[in-house]
Structure 1
Amino acid sequence: MASDARFTRVSPFVIGVLLRALLLGALAYASAWLVLNTNYYATTLVVLICGGLVVADLGRVVTRADRSVERFLEALSAGALETPSRTAAGLGRLAGPFEDAVALLQTARRQRQQSNEYLQTLLDTVPAALLVIQADGEFALVNRAAVRLAGTAATATLLRVLGPAACAQLVSLAPGTHQILRLAGGAQVLASAAQFMLPGGAPQRLISLQRLAGELDAVELKAWDDMVRVLAHEMMNSLTPIASLSESLEGLLRGGHTEEVSGALEVISRRSQGLMRFVERYRKVAELPQATLQSVRLRDLLQGIEQLLRASYAAAGIEFHTSVVPPDLAARMDPDLIEQALINLLRNAADAVAGQPEPRIEIVCGEEEGQLRLDVLDNGRGLTESEREQIFVPFFTTKPGGSGVGLSLARRIALGHGGRLTVQAREPRGSAFTLLLPAARA
């Protein structure tokens, strides 16, 4: 209502223009009458001069109003949200709407600034250093951790801290992949890459650099604790009876108990061979070959696995299916290692569905956010939460006579490809092992 009231009043600017127009019209009429009806040439000249002055004054007033609006719009373009003076020529009527527009723009600017400050605060709480590699290959610091890593906010300092080798590796790091880098000072960081694109802009990559000291030490210590615990358990199971029997052999020999001595030696031999087999399993885990990447069609890979396991699954009454979406999906991987990982997962699934009604195993392959996803699904007995937490620990097994090597090897193969292997429970029963590998498209 207030805005409507402003526009129902006649502004001084309009009144001034109307008066000048009326005066100009009167002077024009007077000059025409003098020319046609009299010989007062001097008077006619004076009237014409007055008319010219009125025209000039009218142009001056209109021009002043135009310049006021122009200066206001230029100030808006420059980011200066200031309301023009109500006394500016020609703006008496427009000052109110201008004030409303400026108030809205100021509110929008404050909200945008608060949103930017909120997002920056969130980024600054992230312990990992965040960098952006722009389309032209330039680096930009994003959060406080990145500034701390560089020592200053200068990008040139960051490049010196990273070193040429790490910079080259970051530039070539594909979105969705991870890599451990060594900085110029010798420190190690875990680099992860993601890709984003601003509206109307070129794709850019977001890089996170997480220092491994501290976090990695804790994880490594826990891994060593688990490994030592398993090794100690397995070795003590073999060495305890060997030591006990060795101590009793001398007495048995002196007593002439040759049959008992023979039995004891057989036990020692059997347990020694078991210990050697355990050491061989440990060697397999420790000496996993380096992945040799090549382009592989997933349909071909799964068909080869189907041919390998079809007979044994059919004999066990296991229903087995595979699917690849899209059918021509291909990825860069080591086919031998990935095939071995899948075979280990499928053997584990076969053991899980043994004795279950209508046993079924399925491999589902597809893409997920630029990654290759392979799901090995079964409807077996499933795993408890405690078993899922330990299932990838070397030599841990839930099966009588199991080696506890297959799943840990599969996980190491996934990690060797820059991916990961996880397990989840299925409903109503069964397990889902998910193998995620980076850069699905070959």
Structure 2
Amino acid sequence: MTYKGYFIQLFLRVLLLLAALISIAYGVVKSNTYALWGGALVSIIILYNLYRFLIRRFEEMDDFFESVKYRDFSRWFSEKHGPQDIRTLHKGFNNVNKTIKAINNERQAQFVYLQKILEMVDVGIVAYNLDSGEVLWANESLITTLDLPSFKNISFVEKRRPQLYEELFDTYRTGVTSVDLSLRNENLKVLISDTVFQVEEDAFKLVVLQNIEDTLNQNESDSWKKLLSVMTHEIMNSIAPISSLAETLQHHIQASQKNPESHPLDLDDLNAGISSIQKRSEGLMKFAKTYRSLSKVTHLNLETIKVADLFKNISDLMKPTLADKQILLQFKTESPEMSLEIDSYLIEQVLINLILNAIDACVSAEHARVLITASQNTQGRVQLKVIDNGTGIPEEIKDSIFIPFFSTKKTGSGVGLSLSKQIMTLHKGKIQIKSEPNTGTEIRLLF
């Protein structure tokens, strides 16, 4: 029987009650004792039956809602006993319980899955109640990094490590911040970010902490190894011929001093040798100055400048260079009002360097063309592009072009692109390269 049958039963009972009431009314009007008492007796029986009929169903629903109130979804309501409408009601209750249990199991599985992920990541995470300080979640990475035992409330950290407490829990940050933490007389470099979120009426704070000390040390070590390797190679290349030539000249001078007649000193050869040493020494000095230029750029003098004005300045500077070359240099802006907050001197240096590289790549190309554009990407950020139709960059050296002193040119210092990348990093931007051999290169500056 469905709920439709339940309402039919209820309707029939109401009809019988009305009939009994009519009988009572008839007995009163006609002074018929049998009709009066018979109607009254039937009315009492029907009212009692109706009360039991309704109250039992309300009791069943009240029992179910009580279970819901205390989140007890394990109860099973009998579907084989009692009236048919009660069985149908029980079946509905059981379906609700099964659905909620399935949802809870799914949420529990997701929670366990998330818990395992958070335990595996090498990032410290802690979430706690802002009012009570009770810790909602703290993973093992946080405990290990901060060298703390497991704690249930942040007041534990406040008592044991007040300085750490202030950095982690008492300071609010608008973004990711690099912080030096003092842990057991050691300084630890970490990145900290936090956010506050609301769950019903409770406010929670989530703090994320990443240990970057090892990463920085490893990167610094790798960078020094690469730099020392390149510098050693370049310096040895310059010193070896200087040493060899100086040794030869010294041998000639000593031989001439011992026996001037058989080993006369040729002043022209001596002058030529000294001149070669001088040139090699100047080359070594130039190399040292070039290296110094890499570490010279440390801060920015920011100003807001229209991209059109920036392009005009560069165009005026490049005209003499292109005077005797069959290369078309074009500048295009998406909007004449587009502007950038940059160190214009440094960005000009970057663009000139990229344009000169593009010109070198286009020397042997037909209809050689270098295009510099300014536009906004899908995130609304300004991007500058230097596009050429030159020889492109071979795949095998793409990963090396930003390494200091790496160059494919005979007269190149290998510093231009390294310096350009450093300047873009100072601007909190990126430099990206897309190149196809024998097709051309596109270098993108993202601000």
Q: Does the TM-score normalized on the shorter chain lie above 0.5?
A: yes
1:24 aligns with 2:25: no
Mean Cα deviation higher: 66-75 or 234-243: 66-75
Whole-angstrom CA distance in 1 between matches of 2:182 and 2:252: 66
Give the CA deviation at 1:262: 0.9
Q: Is the 8 A contact 1:123 1:142 kept in 2?
A: no
TM-score (norm 2): 0.76
What amino acid does structure 1 have at the position aligned with 2:296?
Answer: E
Give me the whole-angstrom Cα distance separating, in 1, the residues matched to 2:429 and 2:286. Answer: 30
* Residue in structure 2 matched with residue 410 of structure 1 by the alignment: 420
Partner of 1:375: 385
1:110 aligns with 2:129: no
Aligned twin of 1:309: 318
Measure how far apart 1:35 and its partner are: 0.8
After superposition, what is the alpha-carbon deviation per residue over 1:227-272, rounded to whole angstroms, capped at 9, x for unaligned?
Answer: 1122112212222222222223344343322111111111111111
Is the 8 Å Cα contact of residues 391 and 438 (structure 2) preserved in structure 1? no
Is 1:91 matched up with 2:86?
yes
2:141 equivalent among 142, 145, 156: 145
* Structure 1 match to 2:73: 81
Q: Distance in 1 between matches of 2:318 and 2:14?
A: 100
Counterpart residue identity of residue 235, structure 1: I
Q: Is the 8 A contact 1:72 1:84 kept in 2?
A: no
Closer/same/farther in 2, CA of residues 299 and 233 from structure 1, 3 Å limit: same
Q: Between 21-30 and 139-148, report the one with greater CA deviation.
A: 139-148
Tell me: higher relative CO, structure 1 or 2? Use CA pairs within 8 A at least 6 residues apart.
1
Structure 1 regions of 5+ residues with no counterpart? Answer: 1-5, 199-203, 438-442
Q: CA contact under 8 A between 1:65 and 1:88: conserved in structure 2?
A: no
How big is the shift at 1:410?
0.7
Q: 2: distance between equivalents of 1:342 and 1:143? A: 47
In the alignment, is the contact (CA less than 8 A) between 1:294 and 1:333 conserved in 2? yes
Match of 2:266 among 245, 257, 268: 257
1:126 aligns with 121
CA contact (8 A) 1:83 1:98 kept: no
* Residue matched to 1:222: 222
Q: Which residue of 2 aligns with 1:72?
A: 64
1:344 aligned residue: 353
Secondary structure in structure 2 of the residue aligned to 1:94:
helix
Structure 1 equivalent of residue 173 of structure 2: 171
Q: Deviations over 1:363-418 (max 9, x none)?
A: 34423547554333322212223321211111111011011111110111122233
Deviation at 1:128?
3.1
The one of 47, 54, 61 aligned to 1:62: 54
Are the aligned partners of 2:17 and 2:46 in contact in 1 as well (CA < 8 Å)? yes
Contact persistence 2:123–2:211 (CA under 8 A): yes
Contact 1:372-1:436 at 8 Å conserved across structures: yes
In 1: Cα distance, 2:130 partner to 2:110 partner: 25
Residue 34 (1) aligns with residue 44 (2): no
CA contact (8 A) 1:132 1:206 kept: yes
Q: Which position in structure 2 is the counterpart of 1:355? A: 364
Identity %: 27
Query: Deviation of residue 225 (structure 1)?
Result: 1.8
Change in CA separation of 1:399 and 1:368 when aligned onto 2, cut-off 3 Å: farther
Residues 19 and 325 (structure 1), Cα distance of their counterparts in 2 relative to 1, 3 Å cut: same
**Residue type at the aligned position of 1:265:** I
1:9 CA drift (Å): 9.3
Task: Say which of 403, 418, 429 aligns to 1:419.
Answer: 429
Structure 2: 5+ residue stretches without partners: 199-203, 257-263
- CA-based RMSD: 4.4
Work out the number of aligned pairs and report it.
419
**What is residue 190 of structure 2 aligned with on the other side?**
189
Matched with 2:259 is none
CA distance in 2, matches of 1:335, 1:265: 43
For 2:21, the aligned partner's letter is A
2:399 corresponds to: 389
Q: Which range moved further: 384-393 or 421-430?
A: 421-430
Asked if the contact 1:134–1:140 (Cα under 8 Å) also holds between the matched residues in 2, the reply is yes
Q: Alpha carbons of 1:248 and 1:39: their partners in 2 closer, same or farther (altered >3 Å)? A: closer
Counterpart secondary structure, 1:222: helix
Quick one: which of 401, 404, 409 aligns to 2:411? 401
- Aligned positions of 1:263-302 closer than 5 A: 263-302=272-311
CA distance in 1, matches of 2:182, 2:120: 25
